[in-house]
Amino acid sequence: MAVLEVQDLRKCYQRGSTEVVALDRVSLVLEGGGFVALMGPSGCGKSTLLHLCGAMDHPTTGDVRLEGCSLASLDEDALTRFRRQRIGFVFQFFNLLPTLTVLQNIGLPLLLTGRPPEEVDDVATHWATRVEIDHRLNHYPSQLSGGEAQRAAIARAVIHEPALLLADEPTGNLDSETGAHILSLLQEVNRDTGASVLLATHDPMVADEADHVIRMQDGRITEPHDVSASGRAGKR
**Model pLDDT for residues 145-178, shown as the tens digit of each residue:** 999 999 999 999 999 999 999 999 999 999 999 9
**Model pLDDT for residues 124-145, shown as the tens digit of each residue:** 999 999 999 999 999 999 999 9
* Domain range annotation of the chain: 34-58+76-235
Instruction: Please say whether the beta carbons of 200 and 183 come within 8 A.
Output: no
Question: For the residues 114-121, what does the mean pLDDT come to?
Answer: 95
**Model pLDDT for residues 6-42, shown as the tens digit of each residue:** 999 999 999 899 999 999 999 999 999 999 999 999 9
In DSSP notation, 109-144 reads: HHHHTT--HHHHHHHHHHHHHHTT-GGGTT--GGGS
What pLDDT, on a 0 to 100 scale, did the predictor assign at position 230?
A: 42
Whole-number Cα distances in Å, 8 to 20, 26, 89, 159, 214 = 17, 5, 23, 31, 16
What pLDDT, on a 0 to 100 scale, did the predictor assign at position 187?
A: 95
Q: Which residues pair with 87 in a beta bridge?
A: 164
**Cα dihedral 87, 228, 61, 25 in deg (nearest 10):** 140
Question: For the residues 91-105, what does the mean pLDDT come to?
Answer: 96
Distance CA 162, CA 210 (A): 19
Q: Which residue from 58, 83, 88, 90 is spatially nearest to 69, judged by alpha carbons?
A: 83
What pLDDT, on a 0 to 100 scale, did the predictor assign at position 179?
A: 93
Q: What are the b/e assignments for 177-199, b being 16+ CB within 10 Å?
A: ebbeebbebbbebbeebebbbbb
**Model pLDDT for residues 209-220, shown as the tens digit of each residue:** 999 999 999 999
Show Cβ contacts of residue 11 under 8 Å, excluding neighbours closer than 6 positions.
21, 22, 23, 45, 48, 52, 57, 59, 60, 219
- The pTM for the full model equals 0.91
Domain 34-58+76-235, CATH homologous superfamily name and number: P-loop containing nucleotide triphosphate hydrolases (3.40.50.300)
What pLDDT, on a 0 to 100 scale, did the predictor assign at position 224?
A: 59
Is the pLDDT score of 50 beyond 60? yes
Whole-number Cα distances in Å, 214 to 38, 45, 100, 126, 127 = 5, 12, 36, 33, 30
Mean pLDDT (the chain, rounded): 92
